[in-house]
Amino acid sequence: MSVFTILEALRECYPLAALDKWCTLYKSMKMTITVDQNNIASTRKHLSEQLISALADFGEMPADSEALLLSKFEKVFTNFHNTGKVANRKNC
**Model confidence over 6-59: pLDDT tens digits?**
878 877 777 678 888 999 999 888 888 877 778 888 888 888 898 899 999 988
C-alpha span between 57 and 4 (Å, rounded): 19
Q: Is residue 6 part of a domain?
A: no
Ramachandran region of residue 23, left (φ > 0), alpha (ψ -120 to 50) or beta? alpha
Asked if residue 21 belongs to a domain, the reply is yes
Structural domain of residue 82, as residue ranges?
Answer: 16-92
Whether 8 maps to a domain, the answer reads no
Question: Would you call 55 helix, strand, or coil by DSSP?
Answer: helix
Determine, yes or no, domain membership for 75.
Answer: yes
Q: Does a structural domain hold residue 86? A: yes
Confirm if 73 and 26 have CB atoms less than 8 A apart. yes
Does the reported pTM lie above 0.75? no
Number of domains in the chain: 1
4 part of a folded domain: no
Specify if 1 maps to a domain.
no
Report if residue 9 sits inside a domain: no
